Amino acid sequence: MNQRSNEPFLWLLFSAGGVVAAMLLPIHLFLFGLAFPLGWLNGPGYERLIEILRHPVTRLYLLVFCSLPLFHWAHRFRYTLYDGLQIKHLNELINIFCYGGAVLGTAAAIYLLWSIP
């Protein structure tokens, strides 16, 4: 049987996720995780945020924001476990954990963004 590898596809997801993680995650974390909780900046109130969140473009944006970086994590963390901890013999378990986690996270994002009133 000549089975084609799905590695290029996974690498593409890793790469796209890497770009999203580099471009978008720092500012999000800076604002919501540091600047607002530590009082450096006045954060937006609930009403303003839910209004932004209801916009269809925001939902699409957040889906990309959550999904692609998770696939980036899955791919990179898989190799962290291989290289760093040298547990390549647990290959299948690691793959299920990593890519399964990314798929579950994406499903959670779709569900949450879809069900916002």
Partner 1 sequence: MINPTEYVPKSFQPRVSTYWWLGRWAYAKFILREVSSLFVAWIVVVTLLQIRALKGGPTEYAEFQAWLGNPWVVILNIISFFFVVFHAVTWFNLAPKAMVVRMQGKRLPGVAIAAPNYAAWLVVSSVVAWIVLRGLK
Q: Which of 12, 52, 60, 90 binds partner 1 (CB under 8 A)?
A: 52
Q: Which of 60, 85, 90, 96 binds partner 1 (CB under 8 A)?
A: 85
- Go through the chain and tell me how many residues it has: 117
Site size toward partner 1, by CB under 8 A: 56
Contact positions vs partner 1 (CB under 8 A)? 17-19, 21-34, 36-38, 41, 43-44, 46, 48-53, 55, 62, 65-66, 69-70, 72-73, 75-77, 79-80, 83-86, 101, 105, 108-109, 112-113, 115-117
